[in-house]
Structure formats: structure tokens, C-alpha cells
Chains A and B, each alone.
Chain A
Amino acid sequence: EAQVTQNPRYLITVTGKKLTVTCSQNMNHEYMSWYRQDPGLGLRQIYYSMNVEVTDKGDVPEGYKVSRKEKRNFPLILESPSPNQTSLYFCASSSRTGTSNQPQHFGDGTRLSIL
């Protein structure tokens, strides 16, 4: 089954304790991306990656890091989490665009609470 898998689904942690949210896709997609969703703000893009070892900042990259060492994985790293990073996070992937009309496939989301 084609899917984007995020782990963990829920996490409560404390300020300053480094954490990683993993994202893996099994569709051989080139493009992967992270978003955060906050009430009243919609989804905002954090980082995206068009290929292995290529990452770009989205609209809200501050406080986050990503890496793309393999095509299927795109982890989101919070080196020193703060309460304002409490949010619902989504990972998404899609095939390379150009003439492709494929939309992004989204994972089930990770609800992060930072105390």
C-alpha cells in the first residue's frame, strides 16, 4: 500500500530536549516536505526536498532541521524544542513535477506538545 508514515503520532516532551520525527515513503517519490498546522493559520511549509542531499527552507524553517540522506526518508529534527513549536506536523511526498499532475500525499500527522 502506498503511504507516507510518520512516527511518532503523538509526543509530549519538555523544552530543550532534542527530538526527531521520522517520515518515510514507499512510493519512490523525489519530493518530500514538512508542514506544521496551527488553528487559524492553515498549513505552513517548514522545509522541502527535491532530491537526496538537497533541502530548501520553506516559510517557517526557524528552529527546525531536516536531512535527506536517502530518497525514502526525510526526518524533522528539533534540536532545542520550545513551546511555540507545539503543533500538528505533516510530512508529504510527491513524484517529480514538471508535466506530472500528481498531488502531494500526506502522512497521518504528528501531534507535538512541548511543555
Chain B
Amino acid sequence: DAGVIQSPRHEVTEMGQEVTLRCKPISGHDYLFWYRQTMMRGLELLIYFNNNVPIDDSGMPEDRFSAKMPNASFSTLKIQPSEPRDSAVYFCASSFFASSYEQYFGPGTRLTVT
């Protein structure tokens, strides 16, 4: 299995621009998680889905952030408009209900907003 796939790996954008991060979970996994990692705040859960349905989005920082999962093999995290404080590494992770304690993380997208 290729593991969790994220794209792009690096993104540099200017303040005010729309940013879309993409994730392909491991085939057969029914949970998908979006995290953000910064030096100041560490690794934070933003939102998670079960069977493509958003279950808990309480970690989404504000309305500028939105996430979708149109099917079992694809999810997006969108920031519109982006701000410099959104600069971070964004991870996608997936897991399978039967082994729910293990979340498999993707390689991350390093976002820089100038």
C-alpha cells in the first residue's frame, strides 16, 4: 500500500489567496483526520470524518477553514483567505475502525503564507 498521500508537499502563497490541500487515505480506512503542526501549538486535530461524514470540526480555527470528503478516497482542506498565521505543516491521517488506535499519517504539506 502506498500509505496516506498528500499534495502538494510544499505550498508557498501570498496572504489573501485561497489554498487547497489534498489527501488520499489508505484504501479501506473509514476514518480520516486533518491535523496542523506548529512549533508554538504542536500537533492539533482540526477535523475528522467517519465514512466521509464530518464528525467533529471543533478544532477548525475559524470560518476561513473548510474541509470536505466527497468520497472514500479523497479529502480537501481549504483555507480562504489565507493569512501568515496559517503557516504550518498540515497532516492528514487515516485509520480503520477495527484498529482505531493506530492512525497512519501522511508526509504532510508544509504551507508558508507570506
Are chains A and B native binding partners rather than an unrelated pairing? no
Question: Which residues in B have some Cβ–Cβ distance to A below 8 Å?
Answer: none
A interface residue numbers (CB < 8 A to B):
none
